[in-house]
Structure 1
Amino acid sequence: MQQVFLESRDLLKRMSQALWKKEPFSLVRVGDGENLVLSQDTVWPVSKVLEERWAIKASKGQKGLYLPNIPLRDAVAASIRNASVVGILPYNDDMIKAPDYLKRPLTDQVFRHFDLSPPLICHAGVNRELAEMREFWRLLKQRRILIVTREAEQLHQRLEQPPYSLHIVKALPFDHWGQYRQTIDWITSHAASFDIALFSCGVNAVVLAERTMALTGKIALDFGKAANIVLKGRAN
């Protein structure tokens, strides 16, 4: 199957169609963290994964998960397989501050291992582009928005203020993978309360976004560091 690459405006158009037709839609994104999670005992031994700086930060509680975590690895792979659109990094990416071997080259290896070939792809940094597009925020206005992130209350307050002026129905705090079950239970039991869900919680967002789409039929986006653009004016 030939892959179709979507520019940010193409992605917006598909989101808009899903909203009007009340169809399920999800965006997930694959960067160095997702690559390392997927690499565990597949293309790399776990011992090699744990030596990486990202994994060392994860072991200190800075990435919202602890490694090794094979159930999370398999959940991420399944969500990439089932998501509507998958963001991947281009070759020679300079957006994400990570060694090149942890970026697109490693994505290619883990995708081959899991036999992943998403039909619709986009740039993994599309979330940052969307956060700076008026059309994106205009699409979210008059919609009921759910946000899930570590800085839930701060993001909640900011998004309800101008220039965003969104209707945030709930801001769920999410710090680590151990909260996945209670979070997805809340989402499924309150599915009628929101139209769009934004997840900014690292690798966990891949699974949360796709599962939210699958279980509620709503629009769910792996929003990532776009939340930082809203809160701090910059992604990092």
Structure 2
Amino acid sequence: MNPIYLEMDGVLDQLEAALKEQRPFSLVRVGDGENIVMSQDVVWTTEEVLQERWAIKANRGQKGVRLPNLQLRDEVAASLQRASMVGVLPPADLTINAPDYLKRPLTDMLFAHFGIYPALTCHACVNREMVQMPRFWRILAGKRVLLVTREIEKLRAALVQEPYHLNIAAALPFDNYDQMMETLQWIQTNQHSFDVALFSCGVNAVILAERTAALAGKVAIDFGKANSIILNGRAN
């Protein structure tokens, strides 16, 4: 099965149509973190996974997840199977600062193992480009936005002002995977209070975005480091 690969205009067309038609749509993305999480006891042993620099940082509390966590692995894979659109790194991509063996070849291996066949794909760093497109902000204009991230107050303060003028209907602090169940419960209970959800929660955002589309019937975006671009002018 050959997925359709969309450039930025095509991605925005999909988001705009889903919002207009008020139907569920999830945009999730796969980078080195998602690859490492899914590699546990699949491509590598737990010991090998825990030696990865990303995993060491995760276990210092810097990534919102701790490893090993096979439930997280299976939830990420399941959400990637069901998501509306999946961002992947093109072969030999240089956008993210990670070793090559953690990029596209590993994604391909993991997708084959878990049976992940997205109908629609785009660039994994689509979020970074998206926030610099005036059209993206026009699509969100007037919509009730749910923000879910660690730096909630800073991001909310930035997004309600020039040049974004977003209507932030709700903002949930999300620090780590342990908050997954209560966050999804809140989203389901309060599904009539927002139109679109933006998640900047690392690997957790894959699960949160896909589940939000499924449980609440909303447009949900794995926003990633877009929050850093909004707050600092660049992805950190």
Instruction: Give the shorter-chain TM-score range.
Output: over 0.9
Gaps of 5+ in 1: none
User: 1:166-185 counterparts in 2 under 5 A?
Assistant: 166-185=166-185
Select between 112-121 and 67-76 the one with higher mean Cα deviation. Answer: 112-121
Question: Structure 1: which amino acid aligns with 2:113?
Answer: H
Q: Does 1:60 align with 2:60?
A: yes
Query: CA contact under 8 A between 1:29 and 1:124: conserved in structure 2?
Result: yes
Paired residue secondary structure (2:165): coil
Query: CA contact under 8 A between 1:3 and 1:118: conserved in structure 2?
Result: yes
Q: Distance in 2 between matches of 1:135 and 1:208?
A: 24
Q: Distance in 2 between matches of 1:136 and 1:127?
A: 10
User: 1:66-145 counterparts in 2 under 5 A?
Assistant: 66-145=66-145
Q: Give the TM-score, by structure 2 length.
A: 0.99
Query: CA contact under 8 A between 1:149 and 1:200: conserved in structure 2?
Result: yes
The structural deviation recorded for 1:234 is 0.3
| Aligned equivalent of 1:230 | 230
| Aligned equivalent of 1:210 | 210
Q: Does 1:191 align with 2:183?
A: no
The structural deviation recorded for 1:116 is 1.2
The structural deviation recorded for 1:23 is 0.9
Q: Distance in 1 between matches of 2:2 and 2:99?
A: 29
Give the alignment's Cα RMSD to 1 decimal: 0.6
Q: Give the TM-score, by structure 1 length.
A: 0.99
Q: Does 1:164 align with 2:164?
A: yes
Percent identity over paired residues: 59
Paired residue secondary structure (1:197): strand
| Aligned equivalent of 1:43 | 43
Question: Structure 1: which amino acid aligns with 2:133?
Answer: M
Paired residue secondary structure (1:224): coil
**Dislocated runs of 4+, deviation >3 Å:** none
The structural deviation recorded for 1:29 is 0.2
Q: Distance in 2 between matches of 1:2 and 1:12?
A: 21
The structural deviation recorded for 1:2 is 2.2
Deviations 1:9-53 (A, max 9, x none): 101101111111111100000000000000000111111110000
| Aligned equivalent of 1:14 | 14
Gaps of 5+ in 2: none
Q: Distance in 2 between matches of 1:101 and 1:20?
A: 40
How many residue pairs get matched? 236
Deviations 1:132-168 (A, max 9, x none): 0000001101000000000011100100011001000
